[in-house]
Structure 1
Amino acid sequence: MPKIGILTFVNTLNYGAALQCHALYEYLNGMGFDVEVIDYNNKEIEGAYRLPSPQDIHSVKEFVTFPFRYMLRKKWKKNFNQYDTAMKSFHVKSISEINGRYDAVIVGSDQVWNLRLTGDDWSYYLSGVKNTKKISYAASFGNTNFSKKQIEKINQLLSTFNALSLREQQGVEFCESLGYSATQVLDPTLLQNTRFWAQQEKSIAHPERYVLVYAVGLKDKVLQEARKIAASIDAKIVYINSPYEGAMPIKGVKNVYALDPRQFVYLFMRASFVVTSSFHGVCFSLIGKKNFKAIIHSGVDNTNSRIVSLVENLGISHVLDLSSNETINYVDVDSKMKEKRCASQKFIQENI
């Protein structure tokens, strides 16, 4: 039985990161492989999710909210640490420690190749890893605004990979510009169908009819659109607070804090409508077959490509247009999704 290692972001308080890792692990496990998640901690990622300390207090507001923020972060950590404890893992301090352990290492998904996000951590490009098959699955660069020196190193490290797949078309085109063949595949959360995710839920109290809001950036714009839609369909608003935000509740909505990832799935599956600025918010809107609006940044230097690429491929670009009232035809979307899921699964089957 081939032994497979998954290298992605771990020990985060990020719903998308946790759920995509779980999805890929379960898919590979279901194929009969001996699977481990490589427990490698990136300092930048780890630092973003540490417990707040008194040194972080720089204002009266931060002083007043500190106890609540500390309690919340601690609860978030507990819920994420308890999620998916059945996954096997192998802890390393240096990525070179995996040499000789695996028949293949899969890098991805998530923005593992975003050097700004990781603080120029080349471990996710498997620098120094030898004697194993190297595969990327739905890896993301975030954006491709690299320096000349970074591109030279990326080029050299990608040459050591046996197969490349990217989450966004922009990433595929970047690899092709360096002379590599690359395939666009689905995010791991979309490798699994709605039935799979319905078995991953954990209940939480909610209004009977609600617009679900999950914002990673652009909070004001997301809330403005959510309030407009909630008024038009006579629904409440449920707001999923993220660890990136402060502790102050938003007025006029149901604020939910420190969700277990399974509760995150549960709320998406039962929403009447979703408004989100998150890529995985889009993914779980699709999984739950929800009508939704995706709010994206304006400008070039951003990570919009992951959302834009997905909705364009599914023929639902109207979800980006806030003036559009067009609903999603899930018969058509499901047909396209099935085709792309089969192609993504084929990439894995042919390259491991």
Structure 2
Amino acid sequence: MKKVAILTFHRALNYGAKYQAYALLTAVNKYSDGYVLDYRCEQIEQFFYKTSGLKSRIKKMVKWMLFPTYMGDLKKRENRFREFDRFYKLSRKYTARNIEQADSEYDLFFTGSDQVWNPILSGNDVNYFLPFCEKEKRNSYAASLGKARLDDFNKETIKQLLMDFKNITVREKSMVNEIKRVVPQVNPVPVCDPVFLLEANEWKNNLNLEEQTKKQKYIFIYIVAPETNAVKKAKKIAEKNGWGIKYIDKGRKKQKEIEAVNDAGPIEFLNLMLNAELVITTSFHALALSLIFHKPVQYELSKERVNANSRLIDLATSVNMMKYEITEINDDIYDDYNWKEIDSKIGDMRSASIELLNKMIDD
């Protein structure tokens, strides 16, 4: 059995980053001995974990003095993110100084999923293109540039790095054209996001999620892009039906109609989603997991000029649920989700991607 390493943003304090890393590792482990490389990208570590400089430390101390409950919730949230690492099979720790040692320790490498090729997020860390290992070991699974473009790198460097891959699969269909524009010689293939590689029961059973029988009825809100109508619509629906509202990462500002949940780790997030009456979101992964769990969901696209709407649009289009986009403020609740059709379309995506993943491991 091959020993396989996955290089991704597993240490980011971000729900989607945690879920995609866990799902890809779980899928890989069905066909190999898989590990998440415990790679410490300097940019990721600096952004999520380090408070550098006297000014930053003083600012943090002042926040603790002014907002002790809120800051305590954020600390609890960070601890819960760290605890989620127990669901990974982690390698020993690597940094940019010793990552080349991994080449002799693994038979195959995957970079992805997530925005591993976004130079802004990685600090232009080219190790996410796997230059430290032999060329025949280099593969990507659902790698993404996010909002970046290949022109943000040195063109000749990135061209050579991409040409040295054995297999390239990408997360967004738009990336196929972006890569071929710069490197016509390669043939990238779009695959589904790793969260779709697992079925609902795998998520529920493997992570010990809790479905409640007697529960408070509420709307689950998760917003990652500036919203214009989503929260207002949630309030209208909640008022009409006598439901509560639980808003993930609402922040310090309090609203009497909304329960701010600032301390949820990855498990708490999924439990809140699983037991909600309705999910309202601007997040791709919240939309994706809602579909997997058969949770009624409505989504809003970002109004920003530079955005990640293509992922939401591609997903909604692929499962024929564009009508659930939030475009106006009303109290409509849809009860006509065609879960059989949605499951069938997700199943087709899953089967094709798993077949390709298995082939890359076996080759």
Q: Which residue of 1 aligns with 2:10?
A: 10
Secondary structure of the residue that 1:85 maps to in structure 2?
Answer: helix
Secondary structure of the residue that 1:286 maps to in structure 2?
Answer: helix
Q: 2: distance between equivalents of 1:120 and 1:51?
A: 19
* Map 1:26-41 → 2, pairs under 5 A: 26-31=26-31, 33-41=32-40
Task: Give ranges in structure 2 of 5+ residues lacking alignment.
Answer: none
Higher mean C-alpha deviation, range 257-266 or range 52-61: 52-61
* Map 1:181-260 → 2, pairs under 5 A: 181-199=187-205, 200-203=207-210, 208-219=216-227, 221-241=229-249, 246-260=251-265
Give the 3 Å change call, closer, same or farther, for CA 50–104 of structure 1 in structure 2. Answer: same
Whichever residue aligns with residue 277 of structure 2, its letter is: S
Q: 1: distance between equivalents of 2:66 and 2:253?
A: 8
Given that 2:70 and 2:262 are in contact with CA atoms closer than 8 Å, whether structure 1 keeps it comes out as no
Give the 3 Å change call, closer, same or farther, for CA 261–59 of structure 1 in structure 2. Answer: closer
State the aligned residue count: 348
| Deviation for aligned residue 1:72 | 2.8
Q: Which residue of 2 aligns with 1:302?
A: 307
Given that 1:103 and 1:132 are in contact with CA atoms closer than 8 Å, whether structure 2 keeps it comes out as no
Q: 2: distance between equivalents of 1:62 and 1:196?
A: 40
Q: 2: distance between equivalents of 1:174 and 1:185?
A: 15
| Deviation for aligned residue 1:191 | 0.6
Whichever residue aligns with residue 351 of structure 2, its letter is: C
Deviations, residues 42-90 of structure 1 (Å, cap 9, x unaligned): 2222223226687336699846545445423332232122224153222
Q: Which residue of 1 aligns with 2:19?
A: 19
Higher mean C-alpha deviation, range 56-65 or range 113-122: 56-65
Give the 3 Å change call, closer, same or farther, for CA 64–334 of structure 1 in structure 2. Answer: same
Deviations, residues 265-297 of structure 1 (Å, cap 9, x unaligned): 111112111111111111111112122222222
Give the 3 Å change call, closer, same or farther, for CA 252–141 of structure 1 in structure 2. Answer: same
Q: Which residue of 2 aligns with 1:44?
A: 43
Given that 1:10 and 1:41 are in contact with CA atoms closer than 8 Å, whether structure 2 keeps it comes out as no
Q: Which residue of 2 aligns with 1:164?
A: 168
* Map 1:259-270 → 2, pairs under 5 A: 259-270=264-275
Give the 3 Å change call, closer, same or farther, for CA 240–344 of structure 1 in structure 2. Answer: same
Q: 2: distance between equivalents of 1:74 and 1:148?
A: 35
Q: 1: distance between equivalents of 2:37 and 2:21?
A: 11
Q: Which residue of 2 aligns with 1:74?
A: 75
TM-score (norm 1): 0.89
Q: 1: distance between equivalents of 2:262 and 2:222?
A: 12
Given that 1:190 and 1:287 are in contact with CA atoms closer than 8 Å, whether structure 2 keeps it comes out as yes
Given that 1:144 and 1:174 are in contact with CA atoms closer than 8 Å, whether structure 2 keeps it comes out as no
Give the 3 Å change call, closer, same or farther, for CA 65–158 of structure 1 in structure 2. Answer: farther
| Deviation for aligned residue 1:103 | 1.2
Secondary structure of the residue that 1:135 maps to in structure 2?
Answer: strand
Q: Which residue of 1 aligns with 2:124?
A: 120
Among 111, 135, 157, the residue aligned to 1:107: 111
* Map 1:278-297 → 2, pairs under 5 A: 278-297=283-302
* Map 1:328-347 → 2, pairs under 5 A: 328-347=337-356
Q: Which residue of 2 aligns with 1:92?
A: 94
Whichever residue aligns with residue 209 of structure 1, its letter is: K
Q: 2: distance between equivalents of 1:92 and 1:58?
A: 31
Secondary structure of the residue that 2:225 maps to in structure 1?
Answer: coil
Given that 1:51 and 1:70 are in contact with CA atoms closer than 8 Å, whether structure 2 keeps it comes out as no
Higher mean C-alpha deviation, range 214-223 or range 15-24: 214-223
Q: Does 1:313 align with 2:318?
A: yes
- RMSD of aligned C-alpha atoms? 2.7
Whichever residue aligns with residue 134 of structure 1, its letter is: R
Q: 2: distance between equivalents of 1:221 and 1:63?
A: 32
Secondary structure of the residue that 2:224 maps to in structure 1?
Answer: coil
TM-score (norm 2): 0.86
Q: 1: distance between equivalents of 2:30 and 2:285?
A: 23
Q: 1: distance between equivalents of 2:240 and 2:174?
A: 36
Deviations, residues 156-177 of structure 1 (Å, cap 9, x unaligned): 2111111111111111221232
Q: 2: distance between equivalents of 1:257 and 1:152?
A: 44
Secondary structure of the residue that 2:192 maps to in structure 1?
Answer: coil
Q: Which residue of 2 aligns with 1:154?
A: 158
Whichever residue aligns with residue 199 of structure 2, its letter is: N
Deviations, residues 124-144 of structure 1 (Å, cap 9, x unaligned): 111333255111111111034
| Deviation for aligned residue 1:335 | 0.8
Given that 2:227 and 2:300 are in contact with CA atoms closer than 8 Å, whether structure 1 keeps it comes out as no
Task: Give ranges in structure 1 of 5+ residues lacking alignment.
Answer: none
Aligned-residue identity in percent: 30
Q: 2: distance between equivalents of 1:149 and 1:189?
A: 28
